[in-house]
Amino acid sequence: MAASLRKLVPTTFNLVLKQVRPERLVCSCKNEFISLNTLQESLVKPSFETLSFRRCIGTSSVAQTEKQKADVVKVKKQKILESEEQTTETMVSEDDEEDLDVLYKRLIIEVKGHDFAVLKSYTKFVKLAAKHLQLNFQQCSTPPKHIFRQSVLKSVHIFKKHFVQYEQRTHYQIYELTKITGSTADTYLEYIQRNLPEGVAMKVTKHRLENLPDHLKPPQNSPLQIEHSTS
């Protein structure tokens, strides 16, 4: 299933300057990586540095789809922070610009239910699905439960000293997935939601990566100068 999903995921890569602050990053998902040796023949200037999500400078890694040829590397159309050498070498494939996949930095799934045993077994299922699809299942946290109590008179008439207490318990679980593409997220979420048990509610929060807006420009003579690629 993971292999067939990979075909759906379009290409992304991250080419960023070394000194860039993480807020300005266009991060990518490490869904497909090819070793540097195979790429060096295809790329003209392979000497670029990549900055991963955790700000550690890893080895150069570029993701490629199966449909594209070796020389073509896909670029996002506006305002990607790139090194100067790269802009001349990269080519943009026109037809794929429209279907550029959304990138999610974090996917937070909050699940609540009355029965904690049900949530526990659902957690197992969610983790297993993420493991099979090779997603970054960051963590699974259990916020404290919420109890709503009502004290009600036991008798219909008089007997104020005797009450009955009823309570409603809501248990929570929060799953966090990091660095996931839009299509993968859609597939995974649909699978998860179709198998949601009855009596369990789910809320999904997606943190999407966006390009920097045009009106924000770094100051002159700074290493963060953006080269506008005229395509």
Partner 1 sequence: MAALIPLRKCCQTISIPYIASRGIQTSVILQKKNVRAGVYKISTKKNVPLTYEEAKAPYKLGVEKSWNTWNTTNLKDEGRKSETLIEDEFIRNFMMGTWHRMIVSDIVIKRKHNMINIAFYVNRRRSLAISKVYFLVGYTEELLSCLLKCPVKLEIQSVESDKDMIFKYI
Stretch touching partner 1 by CB under 8 A, among 22-30, 63-71, 145-153, 205-213: 145-153
Tell me which residue of 230, 225, 165, 231 sits closest to 19, measured CA to CA: 225
141 binds partner 1 (CB under 8 A): no
Among 24, 14, 22, 15, CA closest to 217: 24
Q: Using CA atoms, how far apart are residues 11 and 9, in angstroms rounded to an integer?
A: 7
In the list 165, 221, 222, 230, the residue contacting partner 1 (rule: CB under 8 A) is 165
Among 141, 142, 193, 225, binds partner 1 (CB under 8 A): 193
Residue 92 is a binding residue for partner 1 (CB under 8 A)? no
Q: Say whether residue 39 binds partner 1 (CB under 8 A).
A: no
Angstrom distance (rounded) from CA 47 to CA 49: 7
Among 113, 119, 177, 185, binds partner 1 (CB under 8 A): 113
Exposure string of 9-37, with b = 16+ CB inside 10 Å and e = fewer, is: bbbbbbbbbeebeeebbbbbbbbbeeeee
Number of residues near partner 1 (by CB under 8 A): 26
Indicate whether 144 belongs to the interface with partner 1 (CB under 8 A): no
| The one among 129, 174, 200, 226 contacting partner 1 by CB under 8 A | 200
Q: Give yes or no for residue 163 binding partner 1 (CB under 8 A).
A: yes
- Tokens encoding 96: 């794929």
121 belongs to the binding site for partner 1 (CB under 8 A): no
The answer to whether the beta carbons of residues 14 and 83 sit under 8 Å apart is no
- Site residues for partner 1 per CB under 8 A: 112-115, 146, 148-149, 151, 154, 161-170, 193, 196-201
